[in-house]
A = this chain, B = another copy of it.
Amino acid sequence: MAIHKKEAFTQKEQDLAEFAKAIAHPARIAILKVLASRNECICGEIVEVLPLAQSTVSQHLKELKNAGLINGTIDGPRNCYCINWKAFEKFNTEFNILFDTLKVKNEKACC
Contacts and interface: CB of A to CB of B under 8 A. Distances in A.
A30 B21 CA distance: 15
Contact of A73 (B10, B50, B108, B111): B111
Contacts of A72: 111
Interface residues of A, number: 55
Contact of A9 (B30, B98, B108): B30
A30 to B, nearest CB: 6
Given A10-B26, A21-B20, A23-B20, A36 B111 contact: no
Work out how many copies of this chain go into the complex.
Answer: 2
Contact of A37 (B41, B82, B85, B105): B105
Given A106-B83, A110-B82, A26 B39 contact: no
8 contacts: A9-B29, A17-B24, A17-B26, A21-B25, A37-B105, A37-B106, A83-B102, A92-B95
Given A21-B25, A33-B101, A39-B107, 8 more contacts: A9-B26, A9-B30, A10-B30, A20-B23, A29-B98, A39-B108, A41-B110, A85-B106
